[in-house]
């Protein structure tokens, strides 16, 4: 489980970086799509930590 959480965390960092880049380019649609992916990954991360306890 821990390796999966680390991979999800790295993916979240990458997506957050991409959101900042798209915000700088004023591309709101891509920001929304990426933020949706971020929320989904955060939910899976939260569920996996709750299930692990």
In a domain, 8, yes or no: yes
The predicted model scores a pTM of 0.86
In a domain, 32, yes or no: yes
Which domain, by its residues, includes 33? 2-46
Instruction: Count up the domains in the chain and report the number.
Output: 1
In a domain, 52, yes or no: no
In a domain, 28, yes or no: yes
In a domain, 51, yes or no: no
pLDDT digits (tens, 9 = 90+) for 25-42: 999 999 999 999 999 999
pLDDT for the residue 47? 83
- Confidence check: pLDDT of 53 > 90: no
In a domain, 29, yes or no: yes
DSSP string, the chain: -HHHHHHHHHHHHHHHHHHHHHHHTT-HHHHHHHHHHHHHHHHHHHHHHHHH-
In a domain, 33, yes or no: yes
pLDDT digits (tens, 9 = 90+) for 6-22: 999 999 999 999 999 99
């Amino acid at each position: 489980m821990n390796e999966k959480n680390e991979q999800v965390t790295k993916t979240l960092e990458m997506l957050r970086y991409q959101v900042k880049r798209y915000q700088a380019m004023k591309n709101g649609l891509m920001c929304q799509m990426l933020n949706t992916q971020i929320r989904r990954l955060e939910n899976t991360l939260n569920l996996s930590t709750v299930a692990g306890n």
